[in-house]
Structure 1
Amino acid sequence: MPTTHPDAPGAGVSADCTPPRLRADAKANLERILQSARAVFGAQGLDATLADVARHAGVGVGTVYRRFASKDELIQALFDTRCAEIESLATTSLETPDAWAGLVHYLEEISLRMSDNRGFGDLLMDSRFESAAFSKARASITRNTAALVNRAKEQGTLRSDFEINDIPLLMQTIKMAQNFGGDEAPQAYRRVLGFMIDGLCSSRSGHRELPVPALTIEQLDHVMHRCGATPERNC
């Protein structure tokens, strides 16, 4: 009588086509993979490989591929919720009566999420990841961001020559500042964001005190040494 390899498509599926519940060890492996992927992509960005995830999880790379056919599939499993958060954030910011306050809140919160998770920053700024879910999320984010920008311009609080296509330029600069600060100065990007926000404001009276102090000489020395040692990876 022919036998079916346990990893073959359809293996282990009952006759009524109802998928069986994951075995306890398989479920534990899946959770370990997801936790490791969050840690690896969060720290290294989306250039990390499935082999990096498997190594962190303490499983073979074949185990990862049995759960996720590709890196894109794993990334979608991790970041669908994050994309939904940004869509919700844009909606909430649009509901703020003061358009300038809503736009500033939006930029600050996106920057914070990028700081918390390097992989998420890569996802927002890299169009290589083109699943239907991500494309839909990006379209929604772009549409709502445009509405935030246009509303602030109509209220006269955002400089009139700013355009929606300038947003990715700002976010890429923030991302670079976050990589530059690294673990030595994880909040340094907030100064860059503060300078940006002041530059966007249509009136000098709208300028605010910067949220964090400048890098100390010691911090700057550490950062510059790290960037000089591995510029292509960290800066």
Structure 2
Amino acid sequence: MTDLSTPGEALDQDGRSTLRVDAERNRDRILFAARSLFATEGLGVSMAAVAREAGVGKATLSRRFATRAELIDAVFADRMEAYADAVTDALADPDPWHGFCGFIHAVCAMQASDRGFADVLTMAFPAADVLEARRDEAYEGFLEVVARAHGTGQLREDFTSEDLVILLMANAGVIAATGDAAPGTWRRLVGHMLRSFAADRAEVPPLPDAPERAPLYRAMVHFSGSGEHAALPRAPHPSRS
């Protein structure tokens, strides 16, 4: 049997070099660390922070992923597949309007569960070839979702695909602002937006409850960085008109 290892390189029981095993382990640690940091802090996390979280050196990170785009491509490949699957599910729905609403809610929920993916959906990464290609494919499918919903007369005729981008940007902002203090706030935004997208004859989904005042206030304090400029407007007194 030919020894494929380099000099001084041991082989494990499967015949793989220990260096290769270490490389695979390091790659997995980097992906796990990046996925965790991106999900909680967004894509602004530095490559150095990813390396520290993974417990590897910067040189090791660079060998595995030479650029941020390569890392983002690898981390969010499965998320983008789920995004594409949401389009497929919407197209398979026998009720085009219901499929449209389901897609909007599913994608906004993906954003809420992963701040990094919320950023990915509203940013362009030309160097992330696989990610961009899959997003382009999903976008083409979404255009068909929109066309089918328009065809039923339940989606406003003036809704365009750009409105989805606007919604995703707004949802990403709400998610970032409310954080852990009022994590379900995005549902209220999506409910209002779906109502605004609906034509007169459409059956609109029920509007989720508004967030409670105290959690929303805490979110505002957190978002402003201090309590100095955060204040909720006073609710009208029940006895006043």
By the TM > 0.5 criterion, same fold?
yes
- The aligned counterpart of 2:219 is 223
8 Å Cα contact 1:157/1:201 also seen in 2? yes
Q: 1:132 to 1:57 in 2, by over 3 A?
A: closer
Q: How much is the aligned-residue C-alpha RMSD, in angstroms?
A: 2.4
| Contact 1:198-1:206 within 8 A present in 2 as well | no
Please give the alpha-carbon distance, in whole angstroms, between the structure 2 residues aligned to 1:143 and 1:161.
18
- Cα distance in structure 1, aligned partners of 2:149 and 2:134: 23
Q: 1:204 to 1:188 in 2, by over 3 A?
A: farther
**Does the 8 Å CA contact 2:155/2:202 hold for their aligned counterparts?**
no
User: Identity percentage over the alignment?
Assistant: 32
TM superposition shift of 1:191: 0.3
* Deviation (angstroms), 1:136: 1.4
Displacement of 1:170: 1.1
* 1:96 counterpart residue number: 93
TM-score of the pair, normalised by structure 1:
0.84
Q: Distance in 1 between matches of 2:35 and 2:109?
A: 16
Quote the Cα distance in structure 2 between the aligned partners of 1:132 and 1:36.
22
Larger-Rg structure: 2
Partner of 1:180: 177
CA distance 1:125–1:185, shift in 2 (3 Å): same
Q: Aligned AA for 1:187? A: G
Aligned to 1:85: 82
Candidates 203, 207, 213, aligned match of 1:206:
203
State how many pairs are aligned.
216
Deviations along 1:184-225, one digit per CA (max 9) or x if unpaired, are 1111100000000011111266233223x2222211221111
Matched-pair contact (CA < 8 Å) for 1:100–1:158: yes
Which of the two has greater helix per residue?
Answer: 1
Task: Provide the rounded CA distance (Å) in 2 between the counterparts of 1:131 and 1:84.
Answer: 14
Report the Cα distance in structure 2 between the residues aligned to 1:27 and 1:161, rounded to whole angstroms: 50
CA offsets, 1:85-138, max 9 Å, x none? 211221121011100100011011111111111111111111134322122112
Check the 8 A contact 1:123/1:129 in 2, yes or no. Answer: no
Unaligned runs of 5+ in 2: 1-5, 10-15, 227-241
Q: Any stretches of 5+ residues in structure 1 without a counterpart? A: 1-5, 7-11, 13-18, 231-235
In the aligned structure 1, how far is the partner of 2:202 from the partner of 2:152? 15
Asked if structure 1 preserves the Cα contact closer than 8 Å seen for 2:72 and 2:128, the reply is: no
Matches of 1:204 and 1:156, distance apart in 2: 7
- In structure 1, which of residues 53, 59, 63 is the aligned counterpart of residue 60 of structure 2? 63
